Each structure stands twice: as C-alpha cells, then as structure tokens.
Structure 1
Amino acid sequence: MHDRFSRLTSLSASLLLALSVSGTHLRAESMSPGQANQACGSPSSIDDGWEIASPDDVGMDGAQLCSIAARLEQRATAVHSIVVIRHGKLVFEQYFPGYDQPWGQTDGQYEFAATTKHDMRSATKSVTSLLVGIAIDRKLIAGVDEPVLKFFPDSAAVKQPGWDAITLRHLLTMSSGITWDEARAWTDPKNDEPHLVFEADPIGYVLAKPVAAPPDVLWAYNGGGTELLGNILEHVSGKPLETFAREMLFQPLGITDVEWKTYKNGKIAAAAGLRLRPRDAAKIGQLVLNHGRWKGQQIVPADWIAQSITPRFQAVGYFGGTLFYGYQWWMGRSLAGGKEIKWVAAFGWGGQRVFIVPELDLVVMTSAAQYGQPKEGLAAIDILSNIVIPSVRDAH
C-alpha cells in the first residue's frame, strides 16, 4: 500500500506557524510576483479550466478556511497543499514548503505552488479504475466479469489452482484471494510490494502468486492486482498506459502537466506512479462528483462511477477497519456538527487524499509527505472534518 522508498521528515511546525500568522502564500519560483500578496487561500489565476470564486460566493466561511494553517501547527502535522472546490468552483488553495522525496527527483526541501506537481502514490489506483471504466465503455473490455487469465493465457497463473475463477471485478475490489501482503516493513522479504519495483517481470511475479482463498471471501490490499489492470489496459488498447490515459482522461479534463512514473524495472506504475498538480488531482474528484462529466462532456460512464463508489467490502485491517472499498475507491464518513457526512476518496500513502462529499457538492484535495509517520493522514481528515465541512453554511 505504501509505495515506500525512503523515510521522510515532516514539515517544521515553526514554519507552519509563521505561515498561519502571515496569512499569505509563500511564493515559489514558479509563481508570479503578484501572487505573494494574495489573501489567505485566494486561488491563483491559472488557465487550467477551473472557474474561480470566493468562499462566500459558494456558501462557505472563508475565515474558517483560513484557520487551516494554524490548525496544522496545533496538530503538529504537515501538508504541502490544500485545494477546496465547491459547486464546481475553485474557492481555496494553500501551499506550504517542506521536505519531500518526489519520485525520480532529489530529496530535500521544496517549495509548492499551484503549478507544482506532486506524487499521488496510491491515489493512482483510483485513476486506473476510471481508465478501466473507459475501456469497457469503448468495448475494449467486455466487462468486469471477464476472467483475468483471458488476458494472460501463457502465464504461470494458468497452472495455479484457483486463478481461473478470478475476474477483473475481483482485482478492482481487492478480493481476488491471491496471497499478497503489503502490511509489512519495506525491507521485509515477505512484503510483496517491493517486488513490483525490483522484479525484472513484476507482472509475472503477481501471476505466480498462489491463491489463498476463493474470490470474494477475503479483502486484502493488493497493488499487484492494480498492476495487472494496467497491463490489461495496455494490451486491449494497444498503447502505453500513459498514452491511453492522456487521450481518454487527462486531455478531456484539460490536464496537460502530468507524469506517470515507472518502477526501476521499467514497468509503468499503474498502482502508484502518478504525479499531478493538486488542482488537476481535484479535477479527478470533481469528475467523480459529476458522475463522470466535465464541462458538459461525459468522459467516464455515469454507471461506472456509480459502480465504483458503491461499498463492496469492509477494508479490514486498514484505517481501523472503518472504511469501505469499491472499485479502487474508498468510502468513509466524517462527524461534523453532530451529523455524519459520507464521502468517497482516493487515498495515497503519505497523506495524498482526494475527498468527494456528494451531499455538500464538495471536493477537497491534500498532498503531503507523511510517509510512514504515525500521524499519516491525520491532517487531511482533520481539515476535512473539523474545518472544511463545518465551513459550509448551506447544504445546497
């Protein structure tokens, strides 16, 4: 689950406090000179397709949103970016400098701004799921009940008992039953995830795994299944996964600055490799909120979105087992003002989160570098539940 490559340090609390006191964006090199004087959380004017509005325009309390930096200091947790969308309009964004180890780049201190890409880590899985839905809609794949071995007729899995019963749906819901364990230290040889990085044939590694239980019996977090889905997409489209994604998803969304990283073995990381600008990651959330539509264009079938965010399994063993899992999407809830508010989310290791709150017409995106930290993800859910949702003055 964790896409772990090294231990990262957290953002200094003193710097966060300085930011909260100043109430302004810290200017990065990629930002225009005038942006340094913007009001707290005021979105940058970038031609990326977002309509910009003030929190007041969409029924939100801007002053409450501006308390996010102080809340982070109070909690002693760090993030790199926060983006808030309401009623399809970008109303708040804030960026904080800090230590990061971006995939393929030198680790160290980085400035973050609206034009800075960030690792999405396992939030990539949710994007891969959208691409599967597009492929089914384009008749490249018959449906989720297609057997996995249909796409790998010469693999070792053909000889493994139980593999013939595994379908694409089982990969999407992480209920395939194959032996897989990512809940171990990165250096533990029994952790399956590093094999995706270092094996010469990572797809072969996944297909050679024995089956521990029949499909639909055991839910187990499994990035290997997502890698199979990515490989299948390449097979049926006849294109590299990144090319297929650009043509079918990113270009229609107006996402032009994107990277999809490869593992050290050269295999594109369908489970973890996306790097996106936070504002572009929020577009993915808005797409799901809009039932697959963006600016009047149906990019992903509405039915696929509905299937993807339908709770199918209790995510036993992860986040206290309080979350549900769909087609590579998480489902949970927040308590705000004495009321339970349901949400859907893409989760990435280290604090990458895209929250979709349908009943409030709200999308919240965070990025961070809380890799392997006890407080990983705390900042994101705290901001969502205790600041952003309560800042909504109306439910319409």
Structure 2
Amino acid sequence: MREVGKELRHLGFAAVFMLAASGASAQLQEFSTGQRNLACGSPAAIGDGWPTATPESVGLESPRLCGIAARLVATNANVHAVVIVRHGTLVFEQYFPGYDEPWGLGSGPHDFDATTKQDMRSVSKSVISLLVGIAIDRELIKSADEPVVKFFPDYATLKSPGWDNITLRHLLTMSSGIQWDENRAWNDPQNDEPRLSSEADPFRYILSKPIAAPPDAAWTYNGGGTDLLGNIIERVSGKSLDGFAREALFAPLGISDWEWMKYRNERIASAVGLRLRPRDAAKIGQLVLNRGAWNGRQIVSPKWIEQSVTPRFQAIGYFGGLFYYGQQWWMGRTLSGDKDVKWIAAMGLGGQRIFIVPDLDLVVMTTSGLYGRARQGNAALDILTNLIVPSVRDK
C-alpha cells in the first residue's frame, strides 16, 4: 500500500505541515477579508454535470461546515480537498495547499482547486469492482464465481495446488488465500506489492504465488488480486483497462479529465493508479448511493452494488481502524452525538476517502497527503463525525 514515491520526502514532515498549515491559514484569511460576499465552501461552476446549491437547501447547516477549515488547520491534517454532496446536489467544496506525492509529478508542496486531478491510490480498487460488475452485466463474464485460472490459459503451467478453487469473488473480497504480504516497508524484499511495478510480467508473478490458506478462510489485503481483475477486464472486453473504463463508466458519469497511471514496467496500475478530480470521485460515491444509477441511467446493476457493499470480512489494522470489507469496498460506523452512523467507503493511501452515508443521503469526498502516517484518514472521519453529520438539520 506504499505504492509509489518511496524516494520522496525532499522536505521533512514538520516543515511540510508548517507549509500546509500556513497555506491553509492564508486561505482562511482570504475568506475573511477578500471573499466576505461568498459563502465558505461554495461550489465552483465548472460545467461537470453536478447540480449545485447551498447547504441549507438540502438540510445542512452552513456555519458548522464553515468550521471545517479551522479544524483541519488546528490538527495539521494536510487535507487537500473536501467535497460534500447531499440529495444528489453538490453543496460544499474547499481546497487547501499542502504536501503531496502525485504520481510522476514530484513530491513536495502543491496547490489544489476544483480542476486539480489527485491520486486516488487504493480508491482505484473500488472502481475496479464497479468495472467487474459492468463486465458481468454485459455478460462478458458469466459471474463472479468463475475460476480465476479460466481467464489465464497462457499461464496454465504455473498453476500450483489450490488455484483451481480461487474465483473472481475471492479476489474481490481479498479472501483468496494467496500467499501475499504488502504490510511491510516498501524496500523490504518480502513486500509483494513493489513487484507489481518492477516485474516485467507481474501477472506471472501473482499467478505463481503459492496458496497459503483455503479461499474464504481469512482476509488479507492484496493489491495483486485487483491487478488480476484489471487484466481480466482487458481480456474479456478486448480493450485496455482505461479504454473500457472510459466507455463503460467515466463517460456516462460525465468524467472527462482523468488518468489511469502505469507502473514503470508499463503495466496499468489497476489497484492504485487512478487520478481523478475530487468532484468526479464524489460521482463514484453518488453512483453507489444511487444503487448504480446516475442521472436516470443505470450504469451498473443494483444487484452488483448490493453484493459489493455487503460486509464479508472484518479488516483489522488497515487504514487505521476496525472495518468490514465487501467486494473492494469498506464498511464501518461512527458515533456522532447520539447518532450511530453507518457508512460505506472507498479508501486510498494518504487519506483519500469517499464516504457514502445511505441513511443521510450523503457523500463526502476528501483527499490528503499523509502517506506513511499512522493517522492518515483520521481527519476525514473526524470532520464527517464531528462537523458534517451534526450539520444535518432535517425535520
């Protein structure tokens, strides 16, 4: 999960956070002096298909949301973007300068606004799940219970005992039993994840791994399985992954400014390489909230969405908490005042988060630059719990 930029940190974290904090403080000053007539967090008009309105029009309290910036500055959160959608309407967005490690652009201080693409990192995995669902809806894949080896006849000689029992669903739920460990330092030779970018043929590497446990016996975080899913999409569609994603998902969502990056071995980074504007990432959340529909068009079936966000395993110790895992989607809950709030999420290294709160008809998207930090993502959950949910004022 430390997928890129490990040669980074030309600036120390302390210096970086001071820069981020001073930049955000400058933004607060700008709001208080030069933009008194503009409500904080007012969405910009950039013609991306989002309807926009005020927080009050969808039952949210603006004054409480206006406290987000100060809270982020006070906690040195290094959050780059906060986007809030309610009842299908974009009602709040704010952007902050800060340290980042954007793929191929160099680590260091960066500025952000509504038109800036940001690394989604492992949020990419949740998008791969949607693409698998679309491929099944189109009958390019019979079902998620198809055996993985069926799609890789050219690697049949690699097959070790146990591989015949692994299905696409096992890859989706990270319960395949493949011997895999990416919860190590990036430069640790036992870390499997760097091999995805360094191996000339990463699929051969993954498919040659031994089976350490029966499928469904245990949950183990495994980006290699997601890369296999991305390649299966290419094999069944006859298109590149980004080509299929463009036609099947992003174009219907009105997402035109995006990238899916490649590893240095020129293989597309299915599990970690997606770059989106935060407003467009929020569309992914709204799609799930709408059970696979966007603007009245069914993009992925409700059945697939339901399967994807059904908890299947406990996922302890990843992204800083105790969560449940479905099909490349996370589930959890938070106590906000006297409200027990359940949410669905896509999560990426550094603090990239798409929170979906069905009971409140709410989507919150944040990006951040806390790579390699234990508290990554804490700020997103903090503002969701202590500012955004309490701002709901429905009768």
Shorter chain as denominator, the TM-score bin is over 0.9
Asked whether the 8 Å contact 2:78–2:99 carries over to 1, the reply is no
| Secondary structure in structure 1 of the residue aligned to 2:184 | coil
Structure 2 gaps of 5+ residues are none
1:149, 1:157 within 8 Å by CA — same for their partners in 2?
no
Comparing 251-260 with 93-102, greater Cα deviation is found at: 93-102
RMSD (Å) for aligned C-alpha atoms: 1.8
Match of 1:63 in 2: 63
The residue number in structure 1 matching 2:287 is 287
SS in 1 for 2:233: helix
Listed as ranges, the matches of 1:97-246 within 5 Å are 97-155=97-155, 158-246=158-246
SS, match of residue 51 in structure 1: coil
> Which residue of 7, 11, 21 maps to 1:13?
21
Amino acid at match of 1:102: P
Which residue is 1:370 aligned to?
Answer: 370
Aligned counterpart in structure 1 of residue 31 of structure 2, from 19, 23, 28? 23
Code of the residue aligned with 2:103 in structure 1: it is: W
Question: Residue 270 of structure 2 corresponds to which residue in structure 1?
Answer: 270
Residue pair 1:25, 1:40 contacting (<8 A) in 2 also? no
Structure 2 counterpart SS, 1:324: strand
Deviation at 1:164, TM superposition (A): 0.6
Q: Post-superposition shift, 1:319?
A: 4.3
Question: What corresponds to 1:253 in structure 2?
Answer: 253
Over the matched positions of the two proteins, sequence identity in percent amounts to: 63
Q: Aligned pair in 2 of structure 1 residues 95, 208: CA closer, same or farther (>3 Å)?
A: same
How far apart, in 2, do the equivalents of 1:363 and 1:215 lie?
Answer: 33
Which deviates further from its counterpart, 166-175 or 93-102? 93-102
Distance 1:342 1:2 in 2: 28
Once residues 79 and 146 of structure 1 are traced to their aligned partners in structure 2, the CA distance between those partners, rounded to angstroms, is 40
- Check if 1:381 corresponds to 2:381: yes
Superposition deviation, residue 36 in structure 1: 11
SS in 1 for 2:391: coil
TM-score by length of 2: 0.94
Which residue pairs with 2:361 in the alignment? 361
CA 1:157–1:75 in 2, change beyond 3 Å: closer, same or farther? farther
Contact kept, 8 Å, 2:72 with 2:379, in 1: the verdict is: yes
Write out per-residue CA displacement over residues 72-104 of structure 1, whole angstroms, 9 at most, x where no aligned residue: 122221100000000000000000012222111
1:51: which partner in 2?
A: 51
Match of 2:305 in 1: 305
1:77 counterpart residue number: 77
Unaligned runs of 5+ residues in structure 1 are 27-34
Q: d(CA) in 2 for partners of 1:256 and 1:55? A: 27
Given that 2:159 and 2:207 are in contact with CA atoms closer than 8 Å, whether structure 1 keeps it comes out as no
**Alignment-derived partner of residue 31 in structure 1:** none
In 2: Cα distance, 1:99 partner to 1:322 partner: 27
> How many residues are matched?
387
Aligned to 1:92: 92
Cα 1:84/1:25, change in 2 over 3 Å: farther
Q: Contact 1:144/1:168 (CA < 8 Å) preserved in 2?
A: yes
Q: Is the 8 A contact 2:258 2:276 kept in 1?
A: yes
Structure 1 distance, partners of 2:72, 2:92, is 16
Check the 8 A contact 1:314/1:321 in 2, yes or no: no
**How far off is 1:14 after superposition?**
2.9
CA shift for structure 1 position 110: 1.7
Q: C-alpha distance in 2, partners of 1:348/1:231?
A: 21
2-structure distance, mates of 1:298, 1:357: 20
Are the counterparts in 1 of residues 85 and 362 from structure 2 also a CA contact under 8 Å? Answer: yes
Partners of 1:39 and 1:76 lie apart in 2 by 24
Give yes or no for contact 2:330–2:346 (8 Å, CA) kept in 1. Answer: yes
Contact kept in structure 1, 2:124 and 2:271, CA below 8 Å: yes
Once residues 280 and 155 of structure 2 are traced to their aligned partners in structure 1, the CA distance between those partners, rounded to angstroms, is 37
The letter of the residue matching 2:374 is P
Q: Which amino acid aligns with 1:161?
A: P
C-alpha change, 1:239 and 1:161, in structure 2 (3 Å) is same
Match of 1:230, as an amino acid?
Answer: G
Give the aligned residue type for 2:31. Answer: G
Residue 32 of structure 1: aligned partner:
none
Alpha-carbon offset, residue 378 of structure 1: 1.1
The 8 Å contact of residues 320 and 375 in structure 2, kept in 1 or not, is answered as: no
Whether the aligned pair in 1 keeps the contact of 2:319 and 2:377 (CA below 8 Å) is no
Residue range with higher mean Cα deviation, 146-155 or 278-287: 146-155
| Partner SS, residue 226 of structure 1 | helix
